[in-house]
Structure 1
Amino acid sequence: MGALARESTDDGVLSGPEYRELAESAETYRKALVVRLIGEVGLRTGEVTRLRPDDVRSTGDRASGALLDVRAESGERDRIAYVPDDLRRSLDRYVRSNGIDADERVVDVSPRRIQMLVAEVADRAADRTGDDRFAAVAASDLRAYFARTLLVEERVDPRVVLAVGGWESFESFDRLLGEPDESTVAAELSDADVGTGDTAPARASDGASRAEELRERADRLERRVDLGDRVRAVDDAVLSASDRDDLEVGVCERLAEGDEYAGAWIATSDLTDERPTPAAAAGIDRSGVDALIERFDEASAVPPWTEAVRDGAVSVAEIDEGLPAGDADGAASDGEGSVVDADRVGAVTAVPLAHRETTYGVLAVATDRGAPEDWEGEELSALGRRIGHALTAIQRRNLLLSDAAVELEFRCRDEGAVFVDASARLDCTFSLESIAPVSASSLLFHVTVADADPGDVFDLAVEHRGVEEVRLVETHGDGALLEFVVGGDSPLLTLAAHGATITDAVFESGDGDLVAEVAQDADLRAVVDGLRTAFPDTELVGKREVERPVQTVREFREGVEDELTDRQEATLRAAYYAGYFDWPRGSTAEEVADSMDVSSPTLHNHLRKGQRALLDTFFEGSVGGE
């Protein structure tokens, strides 16, 4: 067990905050999923590699979450594990976004690679926190955290923990959970009420205390369920939004519909004057927001929305703590037409709306109760990230649909960028051929390298932790085509995260020339500042508006016809209508070949060349494959 774990808790296992810090340090969706499958489901590294979507099944009406059939090396079911509901949703999103079939492996790597992914997350946690003890965390520490959380924090029956975690005996827990100290023994057994010496009034008092505790737990559970319903309603608004205005209004309205929040509003990220202008609001109007602002001004307190944008994290301010009563004229609507005095607001929680390096604004929610509990803050933080991701998607869609854009040209000499560094150290040239998304935080690059040996490139690439995978596609002349999966260390990834489309990129002997297009309504300052923040030795060298030619369906078809021979078009048409491209296939290649009275190799030759012509026409003129 790592050094961090030994110093973190009395029983020598990661604490809850430490585990959350570790999980949040995963810079790719896949790494986060791996950490959570071990730390929250209890899977071994080999079991993670054997997980398939159809191994996950509903619990029916018995509970939320899902059951997981854990596979042994033989492929047979070894045991049943439990997947929490939020992790099940994350797993479903990962499967859908990566096009993983029901019988395919979700994380198709070796167990050794799983261990390496955990180590990379641990290293990043150490860098983020400045605490080198994180670097010692391994997959076994995540399994230990899983066991301790169930046994000690959740007080789950040890027999259940033994079964879902796949441990052979209760002695297996001995190395995971240290010996309890005297205070723990006393505290635990005093609550057990062993013996017969209690008096009746003492028992009655204990019973009343227990009843009050149960009522409080029930109230907390009810609030958690209500908030979960509210968050799901907001998610529906996010998914159905057609543009940014629609999204922001929908988010605020859904949050203010229930009893959880008295009002909600969204402001832009430009809060230099600390007086946000709501872009959308519900349950509260401009005067109500102004009244709250005045209370912070009079108390000389930094508003939570300013802290949220500055720190990139949820910020909470309790109004009753040192803030004046404010102007009684400030009011907010409770969503049903009545007016709520702004003085009754007990706390304001501000959530940054961000995706990777881009912060689009801040969501503020007001309550008539105190500060939210930790779990509520975590729910709101995750919601803010989802909204930020949706805003990025809307911005990219606007760019794709627009017939005009703003072209930005950058010069990057930052050694922290993987291609800048490699081109300088090898005195070679990298030319970007294509970009494709792999996950929410990773991109697939196809890059041509000239004047360098691919093996030397591989050796340098592994030094950059943002490079997840690299392979040789083919060699030609004095160069080669390489494939990179990059989750960091690249200005191209940063630009893509800001909603930009990369149209050209060349890295030569330490100089990177990048060209990207953004929508006309994009926040250009946020794009430029975000890139400079990630890679300081970068400058904007050009900006201009460009027309983006719109091609009609007829023009596209004519372009395809110009590229195809008659035989290629006939072969593609026959194969298409025979169901050759369906899954499962309606006809085999041999059947299509027989119907056209050609040999199978001839058919494949026409099909491959025809498909290449189609793809050339579709992807022509766009590195990113618009």
Structure 2
Amino acid sequence: MSDLNETIRSLYTALIDADSRAEIHRSVCQALTTIDRVDAAWIGTVDHDRNVVEPAAQAHLPPEFLDDQSFSLADDRPAPEAQVADERTVVDVDRIPVGVHEEPWRNTALIHGFRSVVAVPIRHEELFYGTLTVYSTETDALDERTTRLLEEFGTLVGFVTNAVERRDAFGDDQMVDLTVDVEPGEEDVCVALASRLETTVEVGNVTRRNRNSHVLHCSIDDVDPGTVTDVVAEIPGLESIRPLSESASTAYELVVVDQCVASRAVPISALLRSIRVTPTNCQIVFSVPEYRDYQRFLEQVRDVFSAATLVAKRQASEAGSVPVPELLEASLSEKQDEALRTAYHSGYFDDDRKRTGAEIATSLGIAQPTFSKRLRSAQRDLLAAILESDSL
């Protein structure tokens, strides 16, 4: 147990500094095989066209094992890796020899000397990145506590993978805008709001308030503000609506409890451009690097939503000498970014300031001095990045 904890601690820093998914996969497999009674480890990703788990990296597996074993999700008695990919749950087999005649994968594992296996999903929130599997040549090799730690490790690897992909999405010069139709479900707060008001809801900003709620800044056109605020009690999960403007294209701040289409879209490894929700349709525009595998990206969106259809693709508009998303990502902490974006979308910087710092702090669930400190430091760091840039 102690060596597993030590492995996870030592890997954390290395994973955060990883430059690619391939580097993450290699580091993980090599590290796990240093743990007592773990004889081999491998990471697989799902090929959705063939419906199989394919190897991405491995350490200490026999040369023929991956070729001899079937990892098809369509098998009647699928291997642990395929079970994880299909059900997104942990598979722990203490004694591979038991039931060897009923499940072909057990026989293949035995031929190569393995007696126990644990397979866990690699995931971040609703996103699924693949499978992480460790094998042992001993039966009952990994106890329940170790299995739980491996599951947590799969979540850690998923988090780091997401961070690397999001960094790449924000930092690439050649970007493509992908317009995707999704189906968040009729009970989604944004869908319910658009349906009740019979209008379009456009989300311009999403900020996590705490673990269970988010602040959304939206545009709701051609509806009387009183009508908008009156629907709060009718929509489960909608805590409050506050108008921020009295113009024809009215801006609102929504506090949403639990998840909605906007908050669910944020972890997807892409730059979120816009979310447009009508009573009959929900459309999201993502920006991704031009080299991105679009089909694989759509599968990631489908991990979050029940269906996703690519309806448009176009070259993103040319950025300036310093790409704004990259500048924000590189210059500001997550808390600074939240404070700056929320202040902007709340009308804090308008000539006729629509909200005070105290009001915005309340929306974010923090103290007013904390908000002011984060906002000032965000402005300072962003200005420093702009004014000290060699490219200007």
TM-score, L = length of structure 1: 0.45
Corresponding position of 1:305: 81
Residue identity (%): 24
Q: RCO higher in 1 or 2 (8 Å CA, sep ≥ 6)?
A: 2
- Seen in structure 2, the aligned counterparts of structure 1 residues 438 and 400 have a Cα distance that, compared at 3 Å, is farther
Asked whether the equivalents of residues 357 and 530 of structure 1 are also in contact (C-alpha less than 8 Å), the reply is no
Shift in Å at residue 398 of structure 1? 0.5
Asked whether the equivalents of residues 190 and 261 of structure 2 are also in contact (C-alpha less than 8 Å), the reply is no
Corresponding position of 1:435: 206
- Seen in structure 2, the aligned counterparts of structure 1 residues 271 and 534 have a Cα distance that, compared at 3 Å, is closer
Which residue among 20, 36, 41 is the counterpart of 1:264?
Answer: 41
Instruction: Please tell me whether residue 351 in structure 1 is matched to residue 128 in structure 2.
Output: no
Shift in Å at residue 416 of structure 1? 3.2
For 1:378, the aligned partner's letter is R
Instruction: Please tell me whether residue 315 in structure 1 is matched to residue 85 in structure 2.
Output: no
For 2:162, the aligned partner's letter is T
Whole-angstrom distance in 2 between the partners of 1:535 and 1:278: 26
Aligned residues: 325
Give me the CA root mean square deviation: 4.0
Instruction: Please tell me whether residue 230 in structure 1 is matched to residue 7 in structure 2.
Output: yes
Instruction: Please tell me whether residue 528 in structure 1 is matched to residue 305 in structure 2.
Output: no
Name the SS of the counterpart of 1:269 in structure 2. Answer: strand
Corresponding position of 1:477: 247
For 2:87, the aligned partner's letter is D
Asked whether the equivalents of residues 492 and 502 of structure 1 are also in contact (C-alpha less than 8 Å), the reply is no
For structure 1, which runs of at least 5 residues remain unmatched after alignment?
1-223, 332-340, 558-607, 619-626
Which residue among 189, 198, 208 is the counterpart of 1:418?
Answer: 189
Name the SS of the counterpart of 1:261 in structure 2. Answer: coil
Asked whether the equivalents of residues 189 and 236 of structure 2 are also in contact (C-alpha less than 8 Å), the reply is no
Asked whether the equivalents of residues 395 and 519 of structure 1 are also in contact (C-alpha less than 8 Å), the reply is no
Instruction: Please tell me whether residue 492 in structure 1 is matched to residue 262 in structure 2.
Output: yes
Shift in Å at residue 430 of structure 1? 2.3
1:86-165 aligned at under 5 Å gives the runs: none
Asked whether the equivalents of residues 505 and 512 of structure 1 are also in contact (C-alpha less than 8 Å), the reply is yes
Shift in Å at residue 362 of structure 1? 0.8
For 1:302, the aligned partner's letter is P
Whole-angstrom distance in 2 between the partners of 1:466 and 1:374: 36
Whole-angstrom distance in 2 between the partners of 1:476 and 1:510: 27
Name the SS of the counterpart of 2:28 in structure 1. Answer: helix
For 1:355, the aligned partner's letter is H
1:379-390 aligned at under 5 Å gives the runs: 379-390=149-160
Asked whether the equivalents of residues 314 and 350 of structure 1 are also in contact (C-alpha less than 8 Å), the reply is yes
For structure 2, which runs of at least 5 residues remain unmatched after alignment?
328-375, 387-392
Which residue among 236, 250, 253 is the counterpart of 2:27?
Answer: 250
Shift in Å at residue 465 of structure 1? 5.4
Whole-angstrom distance in 2 between the partners of 1:226 and 1:530: 33
Task: Spell out, residue by residue over 1:54-81, the C-alpha distance to the aligned partner (whole angstroms, 9 max, x if none).
Answer: xxxxxxxxxxxxxxxxxxxxxxxxxxxx
Whole-angstrom distance in 2 between the partners of 1:430 and 1:309: 35
Asked whether the equivalents of residues 500 and 517 of structure 1 are also in contact (C-alpha less than 8 Å), the reply is yes
Corresponding position of 1:187: none
For 1:364, the aligned partner's letter is T
Asked whether the equivalents of residues 46 and 54 of structure 2 are also in contact (C-alpha less than 8 Å), the reply is no
Whole-angstrom distance in 2 between the partners of 1:402 and 1:485: 32
Shift in Å at residue 363 of structure 1? 0.8
More strand by share: 2
Task: Spell out, residue by residue over 1:254-300, the C-alpha distance to the aligned partner (whole angstroms, 9 max, x if none).
Answer: 11123241111111122776764321112225424345x26999x97
Asked whether the equivalents of residues 179 and 284 of structure 2 are also in contact (C-alpha less than 8 Å), the reply is yes
Shift in Å at residue 312 of structure 1? 0.8
Corresponding position of 2:354: none
For 1:500, the aligned partner's letter is A
1:601-616 aligned at under 5 Å gives the runs: none
Task: Spell out, residue by residue over 1:493-533, the C-alpha distance to the aligned partner (whole angstroms, 9 max, x if none).
Answer: 33322212221233345443321112345453354345456
Asked whether the equivalents of residues 237 and 256 of structure 2 are also in contact (C-alpha less than 8 Å), the reply is yes
- Seen in structure 2, the aligned counterparts of structure 1 residues 346 and 234 have a Cα distance that, compared at 3 Å, is farther
Asked whether the equivalents of residues 113 and 137 of structure 2 are also in contact (C-alpha less than 8 Å), the reply is yes
Corresponding position of 1:515: 285
Instruction: Please tell me whether residue 448 in structure 1 is matched to residue 219 in structure 2.
Output: yes
Whole-angstrom distance in 2 between the partners of 1:250 and 1:367: 19
Whole-angstrom distance in 1 between the partners of 2:72 and 2:270: 37
Structure 1 stretch displaced more, 224-233 or 428-437: 428-437
Corresponding position of 2:138: 369
Whole-angstrom distance in 2 between the partners of 1:347 and 1:273: 27
Shift in Å at residue 540 of structure 1? 2.8
Whole-angstrom distance in 1 between the partners of 2:226 and 2:138: 61
For 1:267, the aligned partner's letter is G
Shift in Å at residue 354 of structure 1? 1.2
Structure 1 stretch displaced more, 397-406 or 275-284: 275-284
Whole-angstrom distance in 1 between the partners of 2:254 and 2:151: 31
